[in-house]
Structure 1
Amino acid sequence: MSEPVDIVLVYQSLLGIYGDRGNAMVLRSRLAWRGIEARLIEVEPGTPVPAGGAVYLLGGGEDAAQVSAVRALTADGNLYRALDAGAVLFAVCAGYQIVGKTFTVGERDEVIEGLGLLDVNTRRGTERAVGEVLSSWTKPDGTQSLITGFENHGGFTYLGPDARPLARVEIGIGNAGDGTDGAVQGNVLGIYPHGPILARNPELADHLLERALGHPLDPLPSEELDELRRQRIAAVRKAGLRR
């Protein structure tokens, strides 16, 4: 019997204020529906991060929480070890910012050193990005998939040469109003929308699992989910035309 797939939800007391815990539940459910046993592990500061997980998740949080999370994860070190061993990290919003090289906090825009897992830097934006965001993601097979979610961030993120955009924005702000959202570098993926985003975007959820497992997964067709996505995308596009 194979070992269960460990999905590690990191520091929800710091980076879990926007419902992003739902991303872990989506991943676990999509494995269970395929008959694959999965184990959800929640870890908080003061408890070592397990180094043997398959997928690690970071969510959204406020400035002070970001700083605390970076300090704790740096001191712990096991997230780095897990990625070196082939694990996948998916980081959303504040989690996305802290996995970069630097980000800013507070009214004085103090520059804080991040985890350095993505070649990105975040600074205070020229406007706050709040609202539905719709972007297009190129899947590994070259086909396109739309990503929907809700963005709410004051920082603008700029990509360096070692990171590439995760998606191209159709509606919304994304990284910095530059037509991109998120970043990918190795097995680290970050993006801004909450939602939780994986509940709205099952193809992205399966992509994370397939990267972590190292093989494709059987499809999970759902006419109901497809129709809900169609309605959501149509509503976002209609609202976007009125901006």
Structure 2
Amino acid sequence: MTNTSALRIVWIYPDLLSTYGDRGNVLILQRRAELRGIPTEVVHVHSSDAVPEQGDIYLLGGGEDRPQILAAERLRADGGLARAAARGACVFAVCAGYQIIGESYGDDEANPLPGIGILDIRSGRGQARAVGEIVADVDPSLGVGRITGFENHQGRTEIGPSALPLSTTVRGVGNDDRTEGAYQGQVLGTYLHGPALPRNPQLADLLLRWRVGQLAPLPQAWGDRLHEERLSAALSA
């Protein structure tokens, strides 16, 4: 954590990157931290603002093609997110946000554009759009288990040698019909909407562990029941 007493959660560009209820990722991180007695501070950084470098967890959501391009341009020019990641901060990015934290991504005409370069992935556009429920088994070393979400993207993502796949797809497309998401150190990206963290509380706890260490267990609650319900529905469809 930073040298302040509170866990600092930084929500990047909610005015550009916030589709499919991405604010839910902010709320669940804050809630699961505070249930354990960990004080939090949430910072909303709009696209006209400088990105603070002293955060603990940075969140980026999904967005349409033009807002995605604008967000990538502004984040590259600002440099704050890249410096925070280099310092060891945790970054969690979804869909459009996932693509732009990589080395490159494709615009709406499949032209390659430079990303922020904090995750060793390269994204382009596939022939068909991936839409629907997705289920995937997370890398066992992360201790998360099976995750579920909703994907709606035309991206296809190649993972470079410095990153690892977040998970192996059981149902859905994800990166390439085989894997879903990627991580590198404490930078993690995924195509999962839903939002991802409320639907997968253990994934939220992974981000918290990366910043604060061992977590006290929580009793089962609505988040765990939602997780199981969505897994069951997706696998039985």
After TM superposition, the score normalised by the length of structure 2 is 0.94
More deviation, 11-20/220-229? 220-229
Alignment gaps of 5+ in structure 2: none
Compute the displacement of 1:62 (Å).
1.1
CA–CA distance in structure 1, aligned partners of residues 221 and 34 of structure 2: 19
CA–CA distance in structure 2, aligned partners of residues 30 and 229 of structure 1: 15
CA–CA distance in structure 1, aligned partners of residues 129 and 96 of structure 2: 14
Compute the displacement of 1:228 (Å).
3.3
**1:93-115 Cα deviation digits (max 9, x unpaired):** 000000111111123x2210001
Q: How does 1:5-154 map to 2 (within 5 A)?
A: 5-107=7-109, 109-140=110-141, 143=143, 145-154=145-154
Alignment gaps of 5+ in structure 1: none
Compute the displacement of 1:139 (Å).
4.3
Q: How does 1:197-208 map to 2 (within 5 A)?
A: 197-208=196-207
- For the residue of structure 1 that corresponds to 2:145, the secondary structure is strand
Matched residue type, 1:14: L
**1:72-110 Cα deviation digits (max 9, x unpaired):** 111111112211222100000000000111111123x22
Task: Check whether the contact 1:55–1:87 (CA below 8 A) recurs between aligned residues.
Answer: yes
Alignment partner, residue 232 of structure 1: 230
Compute the displacement of 1:231 (Å).
2.3
Q: Number of paired residues?
A: 235
CA–CA distance in structure 2, aligned partners of residues 116 and 223 of structure 1: 37
Task: Check whether the contact 2:85–2:118 (CA below 8 A) recurs between aligned residues.
Answer: no
RMSD: 1.6
More deviation, 121-130/218-227? 218-227
Compute the displacement of 1:144 (Å).
5.7
- CA, structure 1 residues 12+2, in 2 after alignment: closer, same or farther (shift >3 Å)? closer
Compute the displacement of 1:123 (Å).
1.0
Compute the displacement of 1:71 (Å).
1.3
Task: Check whether the contact 2:136–2:147 (CA below 8 A) recurs between aligned residues.
Answer: yes
Alignment partner, residue 171 of structure 1: 171
Compute the displacement of 1:46 (Å).
2.0
Matched residue type, 1:158: E
CA–CA distance in structure 2, aligned partners of residues 60 and 2 of structure 1: 29
Matched residue type, 2:201: P
- CA, structure 1 residues 22+144, in 2 after alignment: closer, same or farther (shift >3 Å)? closer
**1:49-81 Cα deviation digits (max 9, x unpaired):** 111100000000011111111111111111122
Matched residue type, 2:128: E
Matched residue type, 1:234: S
After TM superposition, the score normalised by the length of structure 1 is 0.92
Task: Check whether the contact 2:119–2:183 (CA below 8 A) recurs between aligned residues.
Answer: yes
- CA, structure 1 residues 155+224, in 2 after alignment: closer, same or farther (shift >3 Å)? closer
**1:122-157 Cα deviation digits (max 9, x unpaired):** 11112110000000113436x561101000001111
